[in-house]
Amino acid sequence: MSEGAMAVVKPEMKSYIWLQTADGSIQQVEEEVAMFCPMICREVLQTGMGSSKNYAIVLPQRVNPPILGLILDYCRFHQVPGRSNKERKTFDERFIRMDTKKLCELTSAADSLQLKPLVDLTSRALARIIEGKTPEEIRETFHLPDDLTEEEKLEPLRNITDDPRIRLLNRLYARKRKELKEREKLKSVEVEEERVDERSVDDLLTYINSGDDKGVRANKSKKKNRRRKDPLKDALSNKANGDHEDLEAVPTACSHSEAKDLEVATPHKALKLQDFPLGTFSPKLEFDDSYMDDDLDPAMREELDREVEDFARRLNPDWPERIQEILCLDRPERKLLPVHINGTSSSCACISLDRR
Amino acid sequence: MDDLISDLPQSILESILTRLPIRDAVKTSILSRKWRYKWASITELVFDDECVSSSHDGNVVEQSLVKFITRALFLHHGPIHKFQVSTCYLQSCPDIDQWILFLSRDSDVRELIIKLGEDEWVRLPSCLFNCKKLTHLDLSCCELDPPPRFKGFSCLRSLSLHRVLVAADAIENLIWSCPLLENLALSYFDDSLAITIRAPNLKYLYMEGDFTDIFLENTPLLLSLSVVMYMADDVAEHFELEQSSNCNFVKFLTRVPRLVSLAGRAYFAKYLSIGDDPGPLPITFDHLKIIELFEVSFEDMKEVLVLLRLITSSPNLEEFSISAGESTSPAEAPDSLDIWERECPADWAFKQLKVVKMTDVNGIPHEMDLVKFLLGSSPVLKTMTISPSTYFKHDRMVMLIELLRFRRASSEAEIIFLQE
């Protein structure tokens, strides 16, 4: 009778804290759950806020209602003192299963509420997501813009390995840059001629590609080439008008599904390239017999070719297919270099092969 | 398609990057413009064999690892709080000197862990001792030579030396000069070492190797002690002949009244038994909860006595594990068999003892007496696990029959007999 009445927990005996999220909505949360967050705890103790709807604690910007719900779930579980470590761990493992976007928001929100155990948990989960992925996969997962120039991508590697071949490539690169700069200065923009040139380049491509057994990919690159007509006008017209008819290209070892073109040398061009979304660049590569001024004999050059290819192979898992396609594009008579499949994942560099 | 992650606070990104293997962390530099140098300011650098691609040729791996570490240090900017190199490929290379010099210059490094291959001993440069803020030093397979005017690491909390070539007095001085030292691990010094430890704040001590003598001169706060004491047989005999009245047991254990956990292996029990039996100890180890003693020789009366003194001075014992050494001689003469009744205090009870594990049991009388004593004086005992030694094959039935008869103070006690 009276015992039964006393067994009912009267609502007013449980105390609640009022929280307001960034969008203005206010909710009440059990006190012991909310106090698990250091930031809320401090607010309550220092300013006395949160005791009623009108005096709700304003949560930081990064905490929106759904994320707050997740955080409170976490707090609700962990603030119970009697749980074993194993129970907590199991809960954490299950709790952390969510899509990446939510995970990042959760990390951010937990950090703003100074809930360190949750920050550690989410950081660990994010690290696990990043670990072992190629840069491209990471960019895709986190929607990162691929806004580094080829040169910039090369820089870290240049320093880290101190590879003489990389230094050589950079020298070639720099020289190419200089040349392009000069050509630009001389060239005036002539639209019709360039169009004609463009088409001839395309024809050339078609001709080359039609003889290629990797026709599919080559066709793709042909299409992209068309789309990218305008900014490449200058460069392509330069080439078309120049002595050489081969195309310039940069196979990137940073495992882009499509490699970018070389013309990132000048800031002007670099800007333009960045306007373009991924996937519109075509892989083109040229090998030149008269590579460089450095008095390299053909044997050395061959070895360099091989070393560069080996180097890029180690960096780029797509490399075997890429090199086949590239070599086929360029000279049908050039022998295919032996390509070894290597299981290493791509790393932080790309190389540029250019020609004079 | 917004960028999900690049605008998180630097502290979170650092937290993520330090949880990645260093190679993956460096690779983030080509993700996007914002990520270019994020890795370069992480405060923890951990290098191991995974940093570089493997190869059959150890020299190749060594060279690429050296290059990787050097370049990473060069590109890094900002404070480095933790630097770790664990590899067996770096045998002896001058680059280590440069790295430590680099770290010691800014002297921000707090944790330094260097674990190298076992073939050659690298002599660590003296600039190591300029790292004033070190809190954690862990060295393996190297040579250490503290400069004569070295004042000590004033912040050092944890010191671990494994296979480190260093003079005994240099170690002692090093330990003594680190006033905040709480955690000490010394293992495998090449020569037999007699060592004195003065560390007023020491809480955890682990020692393994060829020690002729361990003197805990000033370790009043010690909570956990773990000793694996190897002794050449001739040294052990020499000790027995010496017959000093100074009982090692007293000398050793009475200086650590706050001990919570004691573990001893190999010759430790023998070491403690050297000297005369002190009789019932004047002090009790009120905090001692866990005792693990391995390779106790139950035929040796003196060792059994040490064991007896130890456990009857530990009223709050909760877990007890013991294993017998190899049975070298047949059972002792029966006149010593009543020591358990003689020497144990009357009405002695282990009021907290819940778990007992006995391994390598041979059914020797002293062993059975110990079991009988434990069963009879442990009112809250939950499990006693007995595993017979592999050499003890024939009289197991006899032993089990004897076991069955023993009185049990705890009605809940389970005796678990583990066959192989």
Q: How far is B191 from B170, CA to CA, in rounded Å?
A: 14
Measured CA to CA in angstroms, residue B140 lies from B86, B104, B188, B193 at distances of 9, 19, 10, 18
Say if B65 is an interface residue toward chain A (CB within 8 Å): no
Per the CB < 8 Å rule, is A348 touching B53?
A: no
The per-residue pLDDT for A141 is 86
DSSP A337: P
The per-residue pLDDT for B321 is 95
Q: At a CB cut-off of 8 Å and minimum separation 6, what does B386 contact?
A: B358, B361, B371, B403, B415, B416, B417, B418
B136 to chain A, closest Cα gap in Å = 22
- Residue A179's φ and ψ, nearest 5 degrees, are -60, -45
Which residue among B1, B15, B30 places its CB closest to the CB of A254? B30
A54 to chain B, closest Cα gap in Å = 31
Instruction: Write down the mean pLDDT value for chain B.
Output: 86
Per the CB < 8 Å rule, is B36 touching A152?
A: yes
pLDDT at A346 > cutoff 70 = no
Exposed, middle or buried by CB within 10 Å (0-12, 13-18, 19+), for B173?
A: middle
Encode A110-146: b = buried (16+ Cβ within 10 Å), e = exposed.
bbbbebeebbebbbebbbebbeebbbbebbebbbbbb
Q: How far is B103 from B127, CA to CA, in rounded Å?
A: 9
pLDDT tens digits along B79-135: 999 999 998 887 767 888 899 999 998 778 999 999 988 777 888 999 999 999 999
Exposed, middle or buried by CB within 10 Å (0-12, 13-18, 19+), for A247?
A: buried
Say if B54 is an interface residue toward chain A (CB within 8 Å): no
Which residue among A101, A111, A123 places its CB closest to the CB of B4? A101
The per-residue pLDDT for B271 is 84
Dig out the tokens for A203 from the structure.
Answer: 């024809």
Is residue A86 a contact partner of residue A47, using CB atoms and an 8 Å limit? no
- Please name the residue of chain B whose CA is at the shortest distance from the CA of residue A154: B30
Q: How far is A322 from A329, CA to CA, in rounded Å?
A: 10
Say if B4 is an interface residue toward chain A (CB within 8 Å): yes
Average pLDDT, stretch A304-328? 62
Distance, C-alpha B319 to centroid of its chain? 18
- Please name the residue of chain A whose CA is at the shortest distance from the CA of residue B37: A156
The per-residue pLDDT for A259 is 35
Give A-chain residues touching B51 at CB under 8 angstroms: none
Instruction: Give, in degrees to the nearest 5, the angle at Cα B129 between B127 and B134.
Output: 120
Q: What stretches of chain A show up as alpha helix (H) in DSSP?
A: 2-7, 31-34, 38-47, 65-78, 85-95, 100-112, 116-130, 135-142, 150-161, 164-186, 191-210, 215-227, 229-241, 267-275, 298-315, 319-330
| DSSP letter string, B206-274 | EEEEEEEEEEEEE-TT--EEEEEEE--HHHHHHHHHH--SS-HHHHHHTT-TT--EEEEEETHHHHHH-
Per the CB < 8 Å rule, is B9 touching A111?
A: yes
The residue of A99, A143, A146 whose CB has the most chain B CBs within 10 angstroms, and thus the best one to mutate to test that interface, is A143
Q: How far is B9 from A111, CA to CA, in rounded Å?
A: 8
Say if B67 is an interface residue toward chain A (CB within 8 Å): yes
Which residue among A130, A143, A349 places its CB closest to the CB of B1? A143
pLDDT at A204 > cutoff 50 = yes
Query: Closest Cα partner for A133 from B4, B84, B53, B21?
Result: B21
Which residue among B2, B6, B33 places its CB closest to the CB of A148? B33
pLDDT tens digits along A13-29: 678 888 888 888 888 88
The per-residue pLDDT for A173 is 66
Is residue B205 a contact partner of residue B219, using CB atoms and an 8 Å limit? yes
Per the CB < 8 Å rule, is A135 touching B27?
A: yes
Q: Which of B50-64, B263-277, B354-368, B387-401 has the highest mean pLDDT?
A: B354-368
Distance, C-alpha B252 to centroid of its chain? 17
Per the CB < 8 Å rule, is B4 touching A143?
A: yes
Measured CA to CA in angstroms, residue A334 lies from A9, A130, A257, A330 at distances of 86, 40, 24, 8
pLDDT at B179 > cutoff 70 = yes
pLDDT at A9 > cutoff 60 = no
Which residue among B3, B12, B16 places its CB closest to the CB of A145? B3
SS3 at position B142: strand
Say if B283 is an interface residue toward chain A (CB within 8 Å): no
Say if A106 is an interface residue toward chain B (CB within 8 Å): no
A258, containing H or E segment:
none
The per-residue pLDDT for A153 is 65
The per-residue pLDDT for B383 is 93
Query: Closest Cα partner for A92 from A118, A116, A123, A128?
Result: A118
Q: Which amino acid is at A289?
A: D
Q: How far is B372 from B369, CA to CA, in rounded Å?
A: 5
pLDDT at B34 > cutoff 60 = yes
More confident residue, B382 or B299: B382
Give the pLDDT band of residue A304 (cuts 50, 70, 90).
low
Dig out the tokens for B13 from the structure.
Answer: 């990104």
The count of C-alpha atoms lying within 13 angstroms of the C-alpha of A81, restricted to the half-sphere facing its C-beta, is 1
Is residue B258 a contact partner of residue B239, using CB atoms and an 8 Å limit? no
Q: How far is A135 from A262, CA to CA, in rounded Å?
A: 20
The per-residue pLDDT for B262 is 94
Is residue B144 a contact partner of residue B121, using CB atoms and an 8 Å limit? no
pLDDT at B382 > cutoff 50 = yes
Give B-chain residues touching A127 at CB under 8 angstroms: 16-17, 19-20
Say if A193 is an interface residue toward chain B (CB within 8 Å): no
Which of A105-114, A261-270, A314-323, B173-182 shows the lowest mean pLDDT across its residues? A261-270
Per the CB < 8 Å rule, is B28 touching A107?
A: no
Say if A98 is an interface residue toward chain B (CB within 8 Å): no
Average pLDDT, stretch A278-305? 48
Average pLDDT, stretch B233-248? 64
Q: How far is B239 from B220, CA to CA, in rounded Å?
A: 27
What pTM, to 2 d.p., does this model score?
0.67
Q: How far is A127 from A227, CA to CA, in rounded Å?
A: 37
Give A-chain residues touching B15 at CB under 8 angstroms: 119-120, 123
Strands A26-30 and A16-20, bridge-based pairing: antiparallel
Q: At a CB cut-off of 8 Å and minimum separation 6, what does B91 contact?
A: B62, B116, B117, B119, B120, B122
Percent of chain B with pLDDT over 70: 93
More confident residue, A181 or B35: B35
Say if A214 is an interface residue toward chain B (CB within 8 Å): no
Per the CB < 8 Å rule, is A108 touching B9?
A: yes
pLDDT at A225 > cutoff 70 = no
pLDDT tens digits along B312-368: 889 999 999 999 877 655 555 555 667 777 788 778 889 999 999 999 888 888 888
- Please name the residue of chain B whose CA is at the shortest distance from the CA of residue A132: B24
Per the CB < 8 Å rule, is B27 touching A145?
A: no
A170 to chain B, closest Cα gap in Å = 17
Give A-chain residues touching B66 at CB under 8 angstroms: none
Strand partners of residue A227? none
pLDDT tens digits along A47-70: 888 788 888 888 888 888 888 889
Give A-chain residues touching B65 at CB under 8 angstroms: none
Is residue A299 a contact partner of residue A268, using CB atoms and an 8 Å limit? no
Is residue B195 a contact partner of residue B170, using CB atoms and an 8 Å limit? no
Say if B28 is an interface residue toward chain A (CB within 8 Å): yes
Which residue among B15, B20, B74 places its CB closest to the CB of A159? B74
A301 to chain B, closest Cα gap in Å = 24
Give B-chain residues touching A139 at CB under 8 angstroms: 31-32
Which of A177-181, B150-154, B347-351 shows the lowest mean pLDDT across its residues? A177-181
Say if A162 is an interface residue toward chain B (CB within 8 Å): yes
Radius of gyration (C-alpha) of chain A in whole angstroms = 30
A197 to chain B, closest Cα gap in Å = 34
pLDDT at A295 > cutoff 80 = no
Which of A320-324, B11-15, B261-265 shows the lowest mean pLDDT across its residues? A320-324
Residue with tokens 């020569």, as numbered in its chain: B191
The residue of B3, B11, B27, B28 whose CB has the most chain A CBs within 10 angstroms, and thus the best one to mutate to test that interface, is B27
Average pLDDT, stretch A262-276? 37
Q: How far is B61 from B53, CA to CA, in rounded Å?
A: 7
pLDDT at A351 > cutoff 70 = no
Q: Give the number of beta-carbon pairs within 8 Å between A and B.
A: 103
Q: At a CB cut-off of 8 Å and minimum separation 6, what does B92 contact?
A: B120, B121, B122
Say if A343 is an interface residue toward chain B (CB within 8 Å): no
| DSSP letter string, B79-131 | ---EEEEE-SS--S-HHHHHHHHHHHHHT---EEEEE--SSSPEEPPGGGGG-
For A339-346, which contacts have Cβ atoms below 8 Å and span 24 or more sequence positions?
Answer: A339/A309, A339/A313, A340/A313, A342/A313, A342/A314, A344/A314, A344/A317, A344/B53, A345/A132, A345/A134, A345/A317, A346/A134, A346/A135, A346/A136, A346/A253, A346/A254, A346/A255, A346/A315, A346/A316, A346/A317
Give B-chain residues touching A146 at CB under 8 angstroms: 32
Which of A280-294, A326-340, B163-177, B191-205 shows the lowest mean pLDDT across its residues? A280-294
Dig out the tokens for A20 from the structure.
Answer: 């307001």
Say if A254 is an interface residue toward chain B (CB within 8 Å): yes
Say if B74 is an interface residue toward chain A (CB within 8 Å): yes
pLDDT at A1 > cutoff 80 = no
Is residue B129 a contact partner of residue B151, using CB atoms and an 8 Å limit? no
